[in-house]
Amino acid sequence: FGRCFRRPRTRRGGRAVPFTVKVKQRNAARDAPDLQEDVEVMGVKDGVAVIAGSALGGGFLALPLVTAPLGILPSLVGLGMAWAFIAALCTVYAEVSAQTLTDKALEAVQSREDRPMLEQEGVSIVSVAQRRLGDSAAVVCSVAFLFQMLAVVTAQVAKSGELLESLMGLPYVGGCILPSIFLGLFTFEMPVKLVEQTNTILTALMVIGFALLVVNSCMTISFAELPELISNLPRENWKPLLPAAGTTTWALPIFFNLLCYGQSVPLVVERMGAQRSSKIRNTILLGSVIPLILGIIWVCVA
């Protein structure tokens, strides 16, 4: 009863919002329909594949170049620290994205004529930053996200051009342009569910290929050589985990980049539905564990 007369902390447009109004808004948001109510939602399996596939990449093959100077134990600790930080960060990011999607559903209920526009907009890093941090922060976050995605996509397109040039004899430029056009048309023109299932299959094939690589590497080692290999393991070196003057490699940013999947969190939240917070949380944690396990295995084997 006393809360009705207590000065609330939440303000909108410089005016305090009465507690009874906040209760009504909270209940309306809870009962508001999802923006994706007419679309088949994403399953946990597909969501795990999106999260894991966003982190997995060719950079894992070069991981031993970074971990060799550290030793096994510092490398495992560094990977674990990076995974725990990213998992906690993306869990919070998912909660904020879900709240943003809920706010849009509430606005769609209050303004029926704007619902198609809200459905088309969905939720993204731009909408999350704009609603929670303001327009200026949204511009900064959008520019940083744009440069990050440009760097990632450029590296992938360049590598696809090299692979197609060596395997099929295509010109390098054609090997860069043709896959980009094909994947772009497939992603934007095909049904969403088909794209998700295709991504799940490709992620599974990537994990299987990595497992075969590990098995093939282990088969080259004889049990008689194990004692000598263990004795020749590099000594533990914890210094590359911390930034220091004169060091050529700081390992932690590389670990963060290898295990990063934050760009896929709003998509998973939007496709699974804002009301399924527990499933979203489990999907993020399960999907993030896959690249962590693969990284640990590759560090130990390589």
Res. 156 pLDDT band, cuts 50 70 90: confident
172-182 pLDDT per residue, tens? 888 899 989 99
Q: Is 268 helix (H, G, I), strand (E, B) or coil?
A: helix
Whether the CB-CB separation of 246 and 238 falls below 8 Å is answered with: no
90-127 pLDDT per residue, tens? 999 999 998 888 887 777 666 655 555 555 567 888 88
Whether the CB-CB separation of 247 and 69 falls below 8 Å is answered with: no
Angle separating helix axes 192-219 and 277-301, nearest 10 degrees: 20
- The residue whose two tokens read 């932690």 is 252
DSSP one-letter string for 39-85: SPPPPHHHHHHHHHHHH-SGGGGGHHHHHTTT-HHHHHHHHHHHHHH
How far apart, in whole angstroms, are the C-alpha atoms of residue 19 and residue 8? 7
Res. 246 pLDDT band, cuts 50 70 90: low
248-297 pLDDT per residue, tens? 677 888 888 888 898 899 989 988 888 888 899 999 999 999 999 998 88
Angle separating helix axes 277-301 and 72-110, nearest 10 degrees: 160
Instruction: For residue 16, list its beta bridge partners.
Output: 11
How far apart, in whole angstroms, are the C-alpha atoms of residue 293 and residue 157? 27
φ, ψ dihedrals at 7, nearest 5° = -70, 115
- Rounded to the nearest 10°, the torsion over CA 280, 282, 284, 286 is -150
Percent of the chain at pLDDT above 90? 20
How far apart, in whole angstroms, are the C-alpha atoms of residue 143 and residue 101? 22
How far apart, in whole angstroms, are the C-alpha atoms of residue 139 and residue 85? 25
Q: Which of 1-15, 29-43, 233-247, 270-284 has the lowest mean pLDDT?
A: 1-15
What's the whole-number average pLDDT of the chain? Answer: 79
pLDDT for 83 equals 93
Residue (of 275, 285, 260) closest to 97 by Cα position: 275
Question: Could you tell me where the DSSP H helices lie in 134-262?
Answer: 135-168, 172-189, 192-219, 226-231, 251-259
